[in-house]
Amino acid sequence: MTVASSKSLHDLSFSELTRILSEEGVILHHAKVLWRVIHGLGEIDLSDHPFLPPLRRWINANVGEGKAYFLELPEVVDEIHSSDGMTRKFLLRLRDGQIIETVLMSYDGRQTVCVSTQAGCAMGCVFCATGQMGFSRHLSPGEIVAQVLHARRVLKTVDPRKRIRNMVLMGMGEPLHNYDAVMVALETLSDRRGAGIGPTKISISTVGVVPSILRLANEQRPYRLAVSLHGSTEEERSALVPASKKWPLHSLIDACKKYGSITGKRIFFEWTLIAGKNDSTETAQRLVALLHGIDAHINLIPLNPTGGFSGSQSDSGSKFQKILIAGGFPCTFRQRRGIDVAAGCGMLKADKIGKSI
Ligand code: SAH
Ligand code: SF4
């Protein structure tokens, strides 16, 4: 068995793991014990656990370097703290050398982990550092799960009383471009016997992959949906978000309406304010009209500096917000966290890629 054909134990869903083990004569109760050790305790060294014979035999034969499965967390290339100590960014190296980023944030006493779903991103948004890197590959379910297990481990050493209860898919990559792997990872991470992050505390942020938004609705996935909009007309949006040429604004808005009527859930719209591009009062008025009939909350994001674009002045931002509120939409400003460690949105640029580290 070569390493290339070896798979992470973190990749397996609960049902896959129990099926594989039952074929080897391991009873369901023992499979659950293994699941708790891996996902609940976050252990990666199984050698000391007193597993009973069929399970112990299976582990010895199948888990380890050069065997069918491996169990490990990514190597930490770097850990950077913001000056206020509330944000930690981890630069993590995957087995094939790809580098991704995960962020652990402490907001108002709540611990939130921001994970990557791809190495790079194919969507090319012009103001986003990840988009400018291009796409390398999708992450596997286990590579998404392992980011949370790593962040949890760090949090335990910092303050063992705290737990990660919130998760946002707002790191590198477009989660709905990697739908199947993301759904397996989210099922695992929301499992109460594992990391136990409540499904309603998990936000999937998308650039607007229309077919996947409809799929999320039809499959009645319990997660929160955030749509990164940034433009109120086809022209305004596609100048910032090239993916808008593939999934035009009108079809995205239609999909959001369908999502709302199928699920009955509110949609969060993300709007990065960029000076002179999408922060005028006319744009705000058009946005009010565009979102008419949708149960929407708008999150205004101050642009994080990635070169080339400038963020809106705070007075245009607050005018923009007032128009949306007057139009009947809850509208809040996203707190800027971790800007000094390049851990803000769109700044998750794996700047070490390409260097021999
Ligand atoms: N691909 C997904 C999720 C990752 S990006 C998406 O686009 O939604 C997460 C959020 O960061 C998105 O709302 C995105 O628009 C925003 N973002 C990207 N670059 C940014 C920047 N330079 N400043 C502020 N927000 C940015
Ligand atoms: Fe990709 Fe999101 Fe960045 Fe756009 S904003 S390039 S979709 S990560």
Find the range with the poorest average confidence among 176-180, 204-208, 344-348.
Answer: 344-348
Q: Is 187 a catalytic residue?
A: no
> Contact at 8 Å (CB) between 38 and 71?
yes
- Clarify whether 345 is annotated catalytic: yes
Q: Whose CA is nearest to atom 4 of ligand 1?
A: 170
Residues within a 6 A CB radius of ligand 2 = 121, 123-125, 128, 130-131, 173-174, 207, 228, 346
Structure tokens at 69: 């499965």
pTM: 0.95
Give residue-wise pLDDT tens across range 126-145. Answer: 999 999 999 999 999 999 99
Q: Give percent of the chain above pLDDT 90.
A: 85
- Name the amino acid, one letter, at 3: V
Cα of 206 from ligand 2 centre, angstroms = 8
* Cα 201 to the center of its chain, rounded Å: 12
6: left (phi over 0), alpha (psi -120 to 50) or beta: beta
Of the candidate ranges 158-162, 278-282, 287-291, the one whose mean pLDDT is the lowest? 158-162
Nearest of 345, 353, 351 to residue 128 by alpha carbon: 345
Q: Which atom of ligand 1 approaches the CA of 172 most closely?
A: 4
Which residues pair with residue 70 across a beta bridge?
A: 8
pLDDT digits (tens, 9 = 90+) for 301-337: 999 887 778 888 888 999 999 999 999 999 999 876 6
For residues 183 and 220, the answer to whether their CB atoms sit within 8 Å is no
Given a contact cutoff of 8 angstroms between Cβ atoms, the answer to whether 134 and 174 are in contact is no
The answer to whether residue 291 scores a pLDDT higher than 90 is yes
Cα→Cα distances 197→163, 203, 259, 267, Å: 9, 11, 23, 20
Q: Return the residue whose CA atom lies nearest to atom 8 of ligand 2.
A: 173
DSSP E strands in 190-240: the ranges are 202-206, 224-228
The residue-averaged pLDDT of 296-303 equals 95
Residue 44 CA to ligand 2 center (angstroms) comes to 32
Question: 32: exposed, middle or buried (C-beta count within 10 Å: 0-12, 13-18, 19+)?
Answer: middle
pLDDT at residue 24 above 80? yes
Q: What is the pLDDT of residues 76-87, one digit of tens each?
A: 999 999 888 889
Kindly give the pairing relationship between strand 202-206 and strand 110-114.
unpaired
For Cα atoms 139, 124, 88, give the angle at the middle one, nearest 5 degrees. 55
What burial class does residue 193 get, using C-beta atoms within 10 Å of its C-beta: 0-12 exposed, 13-18 middle, 19+ buried?
A: middle
**pLDDT at res. 259:** 98
- Average pLDDT value for residue range 260-283: 96
